[in-house]
Amino acid sequence: MDNTTHDYLSQSDAVKARFDKLKQREVILEVKGLNKVYKSAQGETTALSNVSFKTHRREFVCVIGPSGCGKSTLIRILAGLESYSGGQVLLDGKPVTGPGRDRGMVFQGYTLFPWLTVRKNVMFGLEMNGMSSEEARREADLWLELVGLERFASAYPHQLSGGMKQRVAIARALVNQPRILLMDEPFGALDAQTRCKMQAHLLDIWRNVDVTILFITHDLDEAILLADRILVLKANPGEVQELIEVPVPRPRSVDQLFTPEFIATKARLEALIHPPASIASDEVETVKPHMIRFTNVADNVE
Ligand SMILES: Nc1ncnc2c1ncn2[C@@H]1O[C@H](COP(=O)(O)OP(=O)(O)OP(=O)(O)O)[C@@H](O)[C@H]1O
Ligand SMILES: [Mg+2]
């Protein structure tokens, strides 16, 4: 192999050793033959078909796949917010039957309570669970410090930027000390620069907290930058295409975007998600002859 090409399956000794260690850790989440069929007046949609995978303690797993392949369905099932049609979901070996404090959630939309301060938002779950206000406040302040927002504890959500709101959402999810953090495109609404900062920040938090993360994203760079392994789903029905062990060494940073390991992994993900045939049939032929009237400039601008 020359130094311009790299096989995404080949791992350095250090990366291999890391994966060996990771796989020896206990299994936190096990999904076995998961099926989900939505029934509606329009008919049946198989959103997930025979999906199986495991995550180990303190593992960071990203899920990617084309729109409609069932990513949000999967995470809602894991959160206990959606029923499933077949298969098994085990958290610490016990079946998931509904929502629980052992799972923290962060979604794309900002889901903070607008009428509560940042601190009160983080305290909310603890107080609901019977913790005294004083203790909840101490806990909340600790987690706000971890996400770098202690100075904003008394602010209201509308006074924060999008990135800051998502940091509060992360603190609010982690304050319950969940076994797994479920994140559905949490940085999807942020601008590129803030998104980049949030990725580094999340890796920093994950390094310091005993939590397993399942993170859904559309962004291939984001998945490679964050994940130990990437679960690639395909659509119609949503099935597992491949579970990729990311060969890029840790600690990760954007400086690795152009390393051979990164490029090889991205090329593999591109091939799985945007196979060449779909470009030929779906994307190139979108301009129909009757649309030519949208321009009266005769020459080709390209
Ligand atoms: N409540 C529902 N009732 C009926 N069908 C649904 C429902 N929710 C999702 N679906 C269908 O299930 C499939 C998977 O949807 P899902 O939202 O899980 O996809 P996704 O991978 O998260 O997509 P995106 O990348 O656009 O967020 C789609 O075909 C969708 O139309
Ligand atoms: Mg979705």
Residue 298 has pLDDT above 70, yes or no: no
Atom 25 of ligand 1 has which residue's CA nearest to it? 67
Six-digit token string for 237 = 């029905």
Judged by average pLDDT, the poorest of 14-18, 168-172, 278-282 is 278-282
For 223, what's the count of Cα atoms within 13 Å in the CB-facing half-sphere?
A: 27
Please report the pLDDT score of residue 1 as a whole number. 47
**Strand arrangement of the beta sheet that strand 94-95 belongs to:** 43-56, 27-40, 86-91, 94-95
Rounded to the nearest angstrom, the distance between the alpha carbon of 292 and the centre of ligand 2 is: 34
Task: Determine the Cα–Cα distance for residues 211 and 104; give it in Å rounded to an integer.
Answer: 10
Q: Which residues surround the ion ligand 2 when the cut-off is CB under 5 Å? A: 71-72
Buried b (16+ CB within 10 A) or exposed e, 210-246: ebbbbbbbebbbbbbbbbbbbbbbbeebbbbbeebbb
Rounded to the nearest angstrom, the distance between the alpha carbon of 34 and the centre of ligand 1 is: 15
Q: Which atom of ligand 1 is nearest to the CA of 75?
A: 18
Domains of the chain, start order: 27-246 (3.40.50.300)
pLDDT for 4-39, tens place per residue? Answer: 579 999 999 999 999 999 999 999 999 999 999 999
Please report the pLDDT score of residue 280 as a whole number. 47
Residue 144 has pLDDT above 70, yes or no: yes
- Residue 256 CA to chain centroid, in angstroms? 20
Residue 108 has pLDDT above 90, yes or no: no
Give the mutation target among 40, 51, 73, 183 for probing the ligand 1 site: most ligand atoms within 8 A of CB: 73
Rounded to the nearest angstrom, the distance between the alpha carbon of 75 and the centre of ligand 1 is: 11
Question: Which residues lie closer than 8 Å to 111 by C-beta, 6 or more apart?
Answer: 169
Query: What average pLDDT does this structure show over 255-259?
Result: 96
Rounded to the nearest angstrom, the distance between the alpha carbon of 177 and the centre of ligand 2 is: 25
Query: What average pLDDT does this structure show over 51-55?
Result: 98
| DSSP state for residue 185 in the 8-state scheme | S
Please report the pLDDT score of residue 294 as a whole number. 67
Please report the pLDDT score of residue 302 as a whole number. 73
Please report the pLDDT score of residue 193 as a whole number. 95
Rounded to the nearest angstrom, the distance between the alpha carbon of 71 and the centre of ligand 2 is: 5
Query: What average pLDDT does this structure show over 113-125?
Result: 97
Task: Determine the Cα–Cα distance for residues 37 and 278; give it in Å rounded to an integer.
Answer: 25
pLDDT for 203-245, tens place per residue? Answer: 999 999 999 999 999 999 999 999 999 999 999 999 999 999 9
Q: Which numbered ligand comes closest to the C-alpha of 65?
A: 1
Give the mutation target among 49, 63, 72, 214 for probing the ligand 1 site: most ligand atoms within 8 A of CB: 72
Judged by average pLDDT, the poorest of 117-131, 229-243, 275-289 is 275-289
Residue 278 has pLDDT above 90, yes or no: no
